[in-house]
Amino acid sequence: MAEQPTAVGATLDAIPAKVAIKSLRAAKGAAQTIIPSKLTVNSLRFPKSVAAAVRAAVTEAKLTVPEAGPAGEVASGEGDDPDAPLIVFINSKSGGRLGPELFDALITEIGPLQVYDLSKVKPQVALETIFGCLERLAEQGDESAANTRQRLRIVTAGGDGTVGWLLSVLEKFPSPPPVAVIPLGTGNDLSRTFGWGPAFSFLGIALFEKQLLEVVSARPCKLDGWSVQVTPSPDMDTTQMHLPYALHPQKAAEEAAPTSFQGNFYLYFSIGMDAQVAHSFHTLRERKPWLARGRMANQAIYGSYGCTQGWFCTCCAVEPQARCVHMIATFSVQRTKDGPWEDLDLPTNLRAVVVLNLPSYAGGRNPWGKPSAELNAKEGWSPARPDDGMLEVIGLRGGWHTMAVMSNMVRGDRIAQVHGMRIDLRGEHRRLAYMQIDGEPWEQPLSVDSREPTHVELVARPVQSDMVAPPNCRLFADEGAAAAVGAPAAAAAAAAADGGADGAAAVAE
């Protein structure tokens, strides 16, 4: 393999033989990201002098650190600063047996000072300790520590929930390092979107060194974060509401009870029967975990809840008169950044409204689809991206429609592309509304008598999250395609892509 320049232009050691052998094993039938031929895992470890100081800081903070691996030290000799020193946070309970196996492999390769099990260490404490140590050394004139802090990259090994948690924590720090993903969850939509793959397989275990080295050549990119604020009606007792962990109570200083609840999401928000079914399943799994221990059992439980709640069979619904979203909710949106709020008219047959931040949903589906260039121009839409400051709003008409969307046979009903959303919820027809953010569902009590509705607001976070993606990530190809919008060839290609992605639903355009 011909030598390729590194992302930082440095001259590095030859890649170890065992990495080359593993790369050859994986080459068959797999798309390969080009890795500089002189890159080694030493490019990912803390320098020896820095590692000693970090070890002292970690010990003083009483963080749990395994006593295995190379202890975070680089091989003696050149003494160059690492190109992309890593801090890895792993949810070792994710991915079945792969979680613990990957944890041990990471400890062996880059050292225990740089790998933290989220079941034992709080990420904010670990980051405060490491960042603080590096910044103190840098202030004392340690250039190696300054370079290490500047070049740091975070690797999150887990599902979408784990990645979202780390992003929320990193938001609290100035100049946070960018984040790469090792997918150990179920849907892994953040990993799919940013080019790190749909799942971490046994083949990935054999090639984990190569995957880590890809972080060095990965390109920086951005991810929008969104804030959701739920303000119940004034007559509601907020102390009795069972909301998800992701929603934090907000209270005025003089009041004992919270007046609202605030949380973040990076993937999606939804309201309606999809959230109701998810909440029922989530509640059952907490009460009787032995009933939901396999994919087939889970699908059967989901199906039964879908029928009894009117998702599939309207005649079986407990409250058939309130089965559609428009019966309990009114929507207003911002169609332009900082623009006026406008009422949004919903079709009356929608059982759920899903608000998407990513072009990947529920394990790689794309319910927004890929509208043609002509349709985008007609509706004033832009190609959906995770960094465009916009949300895609789609509707689901019921269980059968949702099944077709999840099978990639059709797309969801496109409603709007927005910069913000407000929802007013009233309880005349139904006492509960069901919502979810990034897979965490909850039931929201609604007031029957209050003149003030329960208010939900979705707005962009003030700062985007920093991510990194492999050079062959589709996001970068989409950037080039977006720049060519308006050219005849691009329009033709987009139209062809629209037909292929949307399938039978393309006729609806």
The pairs formed by 442-445 with CB atoms below 8 angstroms and a separation of 24 or more are 442/242, 442/243, 442/244, 442/247, 442/279, 443/242, 443/276, 443/279, 444/230, 444/232, 444/241, 444/243, 445/232, 445/236, 445/241
Q: Check whether residue 231 and residue 211 sit in a common domain.
A: no
Residues 472 and 387 in one domain: yes
Report how far apart, in Å, the C-alpha atoms of 147 and of each of 38, 66, 153, 215, 216 are: 20, 26, 12, 17, 14
254, part of any domain: no
Same domain? 192 vs 290: no
Quote the percentage of the chain above a pLDDT of 70: 73
Question: How many domains, the chain?
Answer: 2
Please report, for the domain that includes residue 435, its CATH number. Answer: 2.60.200.40
Dump pLDDT digits (tens) for 430-454: 889 999 999 899 999 998 887 899 9
With bands split at pLDDT 50, 70 and 90, how would you rate the model's confidence at 317?
A: low
Same domain, 148 and 291: no
Residue 45 shares a structural domain with residue 185: yes
Structural domain contains residue 464: yes
pTM: 0.81
Same domain, 344 and 470: yes
| 471 in a structural domain | yes
Both 157 and 288 in a single domain?
no
Residue 9 lies inside a defined structural domain of this protein: no
Residues 451, 323: one domain? yes
Q: Single out the residue in 163, 182, 217 at which a domain terminates.
A: 217
User: Does residue 230 share a domain with residue 117?
Assistant: no
* DSSP reduced 3-state for 414: strand
Buried-state track 254-264, b at ≥16 Cβ within 10 A, e below 16: eeeebebbbbb
Question: How far apart are alpha carbons 64 and 122 in whole angstroms?
Answer: 10
Mean pLDDT (whole number) for 341-348: 96
pLDDT digit string, tens, across residues 216-252: 999 999 999 999 999 999 988 888 888 888 899 987 6
Q: Which of 217, 249, 278 is the last residue of a domain?
A: 217
Query: Is residue 78 domain-shared with residue 35, that is, in the same domain?
Result: yes
First to last CA, the chain: 47
Same domain, residue pair 189 and 280 = no
170 with 152, same domain: the answer is yes
List the domain range (segments joined by +) for residue 373: 226-238+262-508
- What proportion of the chain, given as a percentage, has pLDDT over 90? 54
